[in-house]
Amino acid sequence: MRRNLRFTIYDLRFAGASYALLAGVLMFICGCAGAPPKVSVNPAGNFPAEAFVTQRAVFSAGTKQFPLNGYLALSATRGKRLIVTGPFDAVMADLLVKPDGTISVLQTSRMFSARSIRYGVASDLQNIFGGAPLLPTPVLTAGTNHFIINHGRYVLDLRVVEIKAGVQPDTMFDETKILRK
Protein backbone atom coordinates (compact mmCIF):
# COMPACT_ATOMS: atom_id res chain seq x y z
CA MET A 1 0.00 0.00 0.00
CA ARG A 2 2.80 2.36 0.78
CA ARG A 3 4.29 1.60 -2.58
CA ASN A 4 1.15 2.76 -4.41
CA LEU A 5 1.21 6.06 -2.52
CA ARG A 6 4.68 6.84 -3.83
CA PHE A 7 3.65 5.90 -7.33
CA THR A 8 0.57 8.14 -7.13
CA ILE A 9 2.59 11.13 -5.94
CA TYR A 10 5.07 10.58 -8.77
CA ASP A 11 2.19 10.49 -11.27
CA LEU A 12 0.87 13.81 -9.94
CA ARG A 13 4.30 15.39 -10.34
CA PHE A 14 4.47 14.14 -13.92
CA ALA A 15 0.97 15.47 -14.66
CA GLY A 16 1.91 18.90 -13.24
CA ALA A 17 5.04 19.00 -15.37
CA SER A 18 3.10 18.06 -18.50
CA TYR A 19 0.56 20.84 -17.86
CA ALA A 20 3.41 23.33 -17.43
CA LEU A 21 4.97 22.10 -20.67
CA LEU A 22 1.64 22.43 -22.48
CA ALA A 23 1.18 25.98 -21.14
CA GLY A 24 4.70 26.88 -22.27
CA VAL A 25 4.10 25.53 -25.77
CA LEU A 26 0.82 27.46 -26.04
CA MET A 27 2.50 30.69 -24.93
CA PHE A 28 5.26 30.14 -27.48
CA ILE A 29 2.77 29.56 -30.30
CA CYS A 30 0.36 32.36 -29.38
CA GLY A 31 2.92 34.92 -28.26
CA CYS A 32 2.26 37.89 -26.00
CA ALA A 33 -0.92 39.94 -26.20
CA GLY A 34 0.86 43.31 -26.54
CA ALA A 35 2.05 44.84 -29.78
CA PRO A 36 5.70 44.14 -30.61
CA PRO A 37 8.15 47.05 -30.35
CA LYS A 38 8.97 48.80 -33.62
CA VAL A 39 12.52 49.29 -34.85
CA SER A 40 12.90 53.01 -35.38
CA VAL A 41 15.57 54.20 -37.77
CA ASN A 42 15.42 57.86 -36.75
CA PRO A 43 13.43 58.59 -33.60
CA ALA A 44 15.03 62.06 -33.49
CA GLY A 45 12.12 63.47 -35.49
CA ASN A 46 9.98 63.18 -32.35
CA PHE A 47 11.89 65.95 -30.56
CA PRO A 48 12.03 69.71 -31.11
CA ALA A 49 15.31 71.21 -32.35
CA GLU A 50 15.55 73.47 -29.27
CA ALA A 51 14.48 71.83 -26.01
CA PHE A 52 15.35 70.60 -22.53
CA VAL A 53 14.57 66.88 -22.10
CA THR A 54 14.31 65.04 -18.78
CA GLN A 55 14.81 61.27 -18.98
CA ARG A 56 14.72 58.19 -16.78
CA ALA A 57 16.71 55.12 -17.78
CA VAL A 58 17.60 51.66 -16.60
CA PHE A 59 21.10 50.60 -17.61
CA SER A 60 21.46 46.80 -17.51
CA ALA A 61 24.88 45.18 -17.72
CA GLY A 62 24.94 41.44 -17.15
CA THR A 63 22.69 40.69 -14.19
CA LYS A 64 22.95 44.18 -12.67
CA GLN A 65 20.61 47.10 -13.27
CA PHE A 66 21.30 50.75 -12.52
CA PRO A 67 18.63 53.48 -12.46
CA LEU A 68 19.81 56.71 -14.10
CA ASN A 69 18.42 60.18 -14.77
CA GLY A 70 19.35 62.23 -17.80
CA TYR A 71 19.12 65.95 -18.42
CA LEU A 72 19.60 66.84 -22.07
CA ALA A 73 19.78 70.28 -23.68
CA LEU A 74 19.16 70.21 -27.44
CA SER A 75 20.16 72.95 -29.87
CA ALA A 76 20.22 72.70 -33.66
CA THR A 77 23.18 75.11 -33.90
CA ARG A 78 25.12 74.40 -30.67
CA GLY A 79 24.74 70.63 -30.20
CA LYS A 80 23.59 68.34 -27.40
CA ARG A 81 24.62 68.55 -23.74
CA LEU A 82 23.82 65.50 -21.61
CA ILE A 83 24.27 65.13 -17.88
CA VAL A 84 23.63 61.63 -16.53
CA THR A 85 23.05 61.28 -12.80
CA GLY A 86 22.74 58.19 -10.65
CA PRO A 87 21.55 57.53 -7.14
CA PHE A 88 21.63 60.51 -4.77
CA ASP A 89 22.06 62.83 -7.78
CA ALA A 90 25.73 61.91 -8.30
CA VAL A 91 27.00 62.87 -11.77
CA MET A 92 27.88 59.72 -13.72
CA ALA A 93 28.62 61.37 -17.09
CA ASP A 94 28.69 64.89 -18.54
CA LEU A 95 29.25 65.30 -22.24
CA LEU A 96 28.78 67.72 -25.10
CA VAL A 97 28.24 66.62 -28.70
CA LYS A 98 28.75 69.45 -31.19
CA PRO A 99 26.70 69.62 -34.42
CA ASP A 100 29.79 68.53 -36.41
CA GLY A 101 29.96 65.32 -34.33
CA THR A 102 32.91 66.15 -32.07
CA ILE A 103 32.47 64.80 -28.56
CA SER A 104 33.74 66.54 -25.43
CA VAL A 105 33.70 64.46 -22.25
CA LEU A 106 33.46 66.94 -19.40
CA GLN A 107 33.05 64.65 -16.39
CA THR A 108 33.45 60.92 -15.78
CA SER A 109 32.74 58.54 -12.91
CA ARG A 110 33.73 55.09 -11.71
CA MET A 111 30.76 53.63 -13.60
CA PHE A 112 31.45 55.38 -16.92
CA SER A 113 35.03 55.98 -18.05
CA ALA A 114 35.85 58.59 -20.70
CA ARG A 115 36.05 55.81 -23.31
CA SER A 116 32.65 54.32 -22.40
CA ILE A 117 31.10 57.81 -22.43
CA ARG A 118 32.59 58.57 -25.85
CA TYR A 119 31.71 55.26 -27.52
CA GLY A 120 28.67 54.17 -25.49
CA VAL A 121 26.75 57.08 -23.99
CA ALA A 122 27.45 59.53 -26.83
CA SER A 123 26.66 56.92 -29.47
CA ASP A 124 23.35 56.03 -27.80
CA LEU A 125 22.56 59.76 -27.50
CA GLN A 126 23.14 60.18 -31.24
CA ASN A 127 21.11 57.03 -32.04
CA ILE A 128 18.03 58.34 -30.21
CA PHE A 129 18.24 62.12 -30.57
CA GLY A 130 19.83 62.39 -34.03
CA GLY A 131 23.31 62.74 -35.40
CA ALA A 132 26.00 60.39 -36.68
CA PRO A 133 26.59 57.75 -33.99
CA LEU A 134 29.96 56.07 -33.64
CA LEU A 135 28.24 52.69 -33.17
CA PRO A 136 24.98 52.69 -35.15
CA THR A 137 22.53 50.40 -33.33
CA PRO A 138 18.83 49.82 -34.01
CA VAL A 139 16.55 51.60 -31.56
CA LEU A 140 13.43 49.73 -30.48
CA THR A 141 10.51 52.10 -29.94
CA ALA A 142 8.31 50.52 -27.26
CA GLY A 143 6.09 53.60 -26.90
CA THR A 144 5.84 57.24 -27.85
CA ASN A 145 8.69 58.25 -25.53
CA HIS A 146 10.13 54.83 -24.67
CA PHE A 147 13.31 53.59 -26.38
CA ILE A 148 15.39 50.44 -25.94
CA ILE A 149 18.91 49.94 -27.28
CA ASN A 150 20.38 46.44 -26.94
CA HIS A 151 24.13 46.23 -27.48
CA GLY A 152 24.39 42.64 -26.29
CA ARG A 153 26.78 43.39 -23.43
CA TYR A 154 24.45 46.07 -22.09
CA VAL A 155 20.87 47.30 -22.60
CA LEU A 156 19.63 50.86 -22.21
CA ASP A 157 15.91 51.23 -21.48
CA LEU A 158 15.16 54.96 -21.79
CA ARG A 159 11.93 56.85 -21.12
CA VAL A 160 11.49 60.53 -21.86
CA VAL A 161 9.63 62.08 -18.93
CA GLU A 162 9.34 65.72 -19.93
CA ILE A 163 10.17 67.91 -22.90
CA LYS A 164 10.38 71.69 -22.44
CA ALA A 165 10.63 73.33 -25.85
CA GLY A 166 12.60 76.56 -26.08
CA VAL A 167 16.05 77.99 -26.59
CA GLN A 168 18.60 76.85 -23.99
CA PRO A 169 21.19 79.17 -22.38
CA ASP A 170 24.64 79.43 -23.97
CA THR A 171 26.32 78.18 -20.76
CA MET A 172 24.78 74.74 -21.41
CA PHE A 173 26.93 74.38 -24.53
CA ASP A 174 30.20 75.79 -23.17
CA GLU A 175 32.65 72.90 -23.07
CA THR A 176 34.84 74.62 -20.48
CA LYS A 177 32.08 74.66 -17.85
CA ILE A 178 31.08 71.73 -15.70
CA LEU A 179 27.52 72.46 -14.66
CA ARG A 180 27.23 70.03 -11.73
CA LYS A 181 29.72 68.45 -9.37
d(CA 14, CA 22): 12
The 3-state DSSP class for residue 65 equals: strand
Structural contact between residues 74 and 130, judged by C-beta atoms closer than 8 angstroms: no
Which pLDDT score is estimated for 86?
92
Among residues of the chain, what percentage have pLDDT more than 70? Answer: 73
pTM of the full structure:
0.74
Cβ neighbours for 164, distance < 8 A, ≥ 6 positions apart:
51, 52, 53
Distances (CA, A) of 16 to 11, 12, 20, 39: 9, 6, 6, 39
Which pLDDT score is estimated for 142?
85
DSSP of 64-106: EEEEEEEEEEEETTTEEEEEEE-GGG-EEEEEEE-TTS-EEEE
Candidates 80, 33, 60; CA nearest to 175 is: 80
H helices of 52-181, in order, are 114-116, 122-129
With cut-offs at 50, 70 and 90, classify the pLDDT of residue 161: very high
| Backbone phi and psi for residue 129, each to the nearest 5 degrees, phi listed first | -105, 10
Average pLDDT, the chain: 80
Residue 23 buriedness (CB in 10 A; 0-12 / 13-18 / 19+): exposed
Domain ranges of the chain: 1-33, 38-173
d(CA 88, CA 66): 12
d(CA 125, CA 168): 18
H helices of 58-118, in order, are 114-116
Per-residue model confidence as pLDDT tens digits over 110-121: 989 999 999 899
Which pLDDT score is estimated for 96?
95
Per-residue model confidence as pLDDT tens digits over 4-52: 545 444 444 545 555 555 555 445 544 444 555 555 545 556 788 899 9
Among residues of the chain, what percentage have pLDDT more than 90? Answer: 46
Per-residue model confidence as pLDDT tens digits over 119-140: 899 999 988 888 877 777 888 8
Which pLDDT score is estimated for 67?
95
CB-CB neighbours of 118 under 10 Å? 19
